[in-house]
A and B are shown apart, each in its own frame.
Chain A
Amino acid sequence: MDNRNSGLLLLCRVQTLFCALPLAHVLETMRLLPIDPLPGTPAFLPGIALIRGLPTPVIDMASLLDVDGGSATRLVLLKVDARQVALMVDEVAGIRAIADHALQDLPPLFDDSGAAFVSAIGNLDASLLVVLQGTRLVPHELWTQLDAARSSA
């Protein structure tokens, strides 16, 4: 996230894991919509949903965070640069302002682990809280691939 100190975060739950999204990137929340699968995409990208007239890539947060047994009921629509992306979560818990001292950076040990979309970690009511960085949720090459697929469609 570009600004960790903005304060307001959208809390979402994926199984027992809470993840927080900076509210500045959130466009809206909605129910789960039909998803059209795309060939050759990774597992955390199940397909594309048509949201408000725009084909939007959908990211399965359970698959991304490697959490088993998720039952997504909501989509959180994010604005990433000029694009928008939707996240599949189990529940939207609400908007919360979390103090900076309750968060900490990801340990350096995870620098090369591919978890670059995690900007910080913390705890929320004795549960792990993961603060996501929306712009890094989808790798650049995947955007390119998606754009190629959209243009071909």
Chain B
Amino acid sequence: MWTFGRKVAAGFAVCFVLLLGIGAEAYRSLHSLARTSYLVAHTHVVIEHINGVVSSLTEVENGLRGFIVTGDDIYLEPYQGADKAAASLLRELRELIGDNPAQQKRLDSLEPLITARLEAMKKTIDLRRNGGIAAAVEGARGGEGRKATDRIRQIAGQMEQEERDLLKRRADEVESASSGGTLAIVVGTVFCLLFISATGFYLTRSLNTQIGSAVQHIQSSSAELQSAATQQATGAKESSTSMTEITTTISELLATSRQIAESARRVTGVAEQTTEAARSGEGTLQAANTSFAGIRRQTDLIVNHMLELGKKSQQIGSVLDIVLELAEQTNILSINASIEAAGAGESGKRFGVVADEIRKLADRVSGSAKEIRGLIDDVRGAVNTTVMATETGSKAVDAGVKQFDDVASAFRRIAGLVTTTTDAAREIELSTKQQTTAVEQVNIAIANTAQATRETEASSGQVLQTASQLAVLSKDLLRLVKSQSAA
């Protein structure tokens, strides 16, 4: 679809072409008229030259007659220089009719006649002066001069007629050119006016349809723009509020980042101290491990001694069994001795007393041996308990050594991890510093953004105002277009 501007340009182009054609035709007609006018004037000059030649010849003849009659030279004035004047006129005439061969041919036949006539006049003048009037009259008798003059006039008349015919043809040409130019101008002007009217009507209608719809679109768009500008203003206001909150939050974040950086620095210090402590703890663990090995050796010695003690106790028990056996046997023997002594009557009484004492001794030995056995059992129990406890302790020591190895390994791992932690804490410290810098930059950027948001808010107000003005303008334009269409 053609745009309105394109249509206007096309209309102007057609008008331009039409006006160009009308102008060209008018120019051509005027040029033709001017050329024809020039040729008419040229023809008039030629006719004037022809008539001048004829009239000059007539005037010379009239002077010659006066001179013949009176013999006065005053009548010869026209004749004086007539030949030169005739030659000049004939030369100019030849130049003027240079484009017409027929006239050239006539001039070729006219020019000797004039020369001969002037020669004849010179002879007549000489006769008048030398022979008097009679000789002169006698010389003119016969009418030769008259005939020559008539012949000259005839040819001059033919030439003049030729020129007049040319004048007539050129008048026709002027008429034709004038009527053609007039027709072209009138018809072209009328057509141009009709085309301009049609184009104007079409463009007006197109203006009404396209620009009207466009203006309506502009009106609706301006309303939407107004609404959008209102929303944008509201959004910009909310954004401004949010930016303020963000600025506050970023400031808090900045403070927190600085605190984190400080904490990370402290963590780095603590991690370094922890690394040192872990290394020190590892050394302490190695010393403790050495102590544990000593404890283990001592425990083994204790176990060996206790086992030896158990063996000795067992040997004591064996001896004690013998003692108990002896005591028991002694007890039985003493009782039997007492029985025998009682059977012996008075004589065995003292023996009975001795036997009873022996029995008591045997009982005491038996009691003591039993006590010793109890003590030995206690000692053996204690030894067993001690051995078991010592073995348990030895196992505990082994477990402790293993655990200490594990703890030492754990300390080494802790030292390694703490080293890693130290590196990580340093990286955290560095990163937090960078983060702090970044947050400061973000803070600046947020401040700039807040400023931009405030400017956007102001711009939104301006856009809203512009949209309102645009809506008013679109209404005015629509009213203008509709009033034009109504008109």
Is A8's CB within 8 Å of the partner chain B? yes
Taking CB atoms, residues of chain B closer than 8 Å to A24 are: 343
Which residue of chain A has the shortest Cβ distance to B339 in the bound complex? A26
Q: Are A95 and B332 in contact (CB under 8 A)?
A: no
Stretch at the interface among A28-36, A45-53, A104-112, A123-131: A28-36
Q: Are A29 and B359 in contact (CB under 8 A)?
A: no
- A92 to B337 Cα, complex, angstroms: 13
Q: Are A94 and B338 in contact (CB under 8 A)?
A: yes
Main secondary structure of the interface of A (DSSP, over half): strand
How many interface residues does A have (CB within 8 Å)? 14
- A132 to B296 Cα, complex, angstroms: 67
- A21 to B342 Cα, complex, angstroms: 13
- A28 to B331 Cα, complex, angstroms: 12
Q: Are A29 and B339 in contact (CB under 8 A)?
A: yes
Q: Are B332 and A31 in contact (CB under 8 A)?
A: yes
Within 8 A of A (CB), among B336-357: 336, 338-339, 342-343, 352, 356
How many interface contacts (CB-CB < 8 Å) are there between A and B? 32
Is B155's CB within 8 Å of the partner chain A? no
Is A80's CB within 8 Å of the partner chain B? no
Taking CB atoms, residues of chain B closer than 8 Å to A23 are: 339, 342-343
What's the nearest-Cβ distance from chain B to residue A125, in Å? 16
What's the nearest-Cβ distance from chain A to residue B202, in Å? 147
How many interface residues does B have (CB within 8 Å)? 12
Q: Are B356 and A29 in contact (CB under 8 A)?
A: no
What's the nearest-Cβ distance from chain B to residue A130, in Å? 19
Is A85's CB within 8 Å of the partner chain B? no
Q: Are B335 and A29 in contact (CB under 8 A)?
A: yes
- A133 to B252 Cα, complex, angstroms: 115
Is A10's CB within 8 Å of the partner chain B? yes
- A30 to B342 Cα, complex, angstroms: 17
What's the nearest-Cβ distance from chain B to residue A2, in Å? 16
- A10 to B338 Cα, complex, angstroms: 10
Q: Are A10 and B332 in contact (CB under 8 A)?
A: no
Q: Are B339 and A28 in contact (CB under 8 A)?
A: yes
Q: Are B336 and A95 in contact (CB under 8 A)?
A: no
- A74 to B328 Cα, complex, angstroms: 11
Which residue of chain B has the shortest Cβ distance to A28 in the bound complex? B336
What's the nearest-Cβ distance from chain B to residue A24, in Å? 8
Contact of B342 among A28, A92, A95 (CB under 8 A): A95
Q: Are A10 and B359 in contact (CB under 8 A)?
A: no
Taking CB atoms, residues of chain A closer than 8 Å to B335 are: 10, 29, 92, 94-95
What's the nearest-Cβ distance from chain B to residue A19, in Å? 15
Taking CB atoms, residues of chain A closer than 8 Å to B331 are: 92
Q: Check A10/B356 contact, CB under 8 A, given A30-B332, A31-B332, A92-B332.
A: no
Interface string of B92-104 (1 = CB under 8 A from A): 0000000000000
Which residue of chain A has the shortest Cβ distance to B363 in the bound complex? A94
Taking CB atoms, residues of chain B closer than 8 Å to A10 are: 335, 339
**What are 17 sample pairs from A and B whose C-beta atoms fall under 8 A apart?**
A8-B342, A10-B335, A23-B342, A26-B339, A27-B339, A28-B336, A28-B339, A29-B335, A29-B339, A31-B332, A74-B332, A92-B331, A94-B335, A94-B356, A95-B338, A95-B339, A95-B356
Q: Which 8 A-B pairs have the closest CB atoms?
A: A28-B336, A95-B338, A23-B342, A29-B335, A8-B342, A26-B339, A92-B335, A29-B332
* Chain A interface residues toward B at CB < 8 A: 8, 10, 23-24, 26-31, 74, 92, 94-95
Given contacts A28-B336, A94-B338, 8 further A-B contacts (CB under 8 A): A10-B335, A23-B339, A29-B332, A29-B335, A31-B332, A74-B332, A94-B356, A95-B335
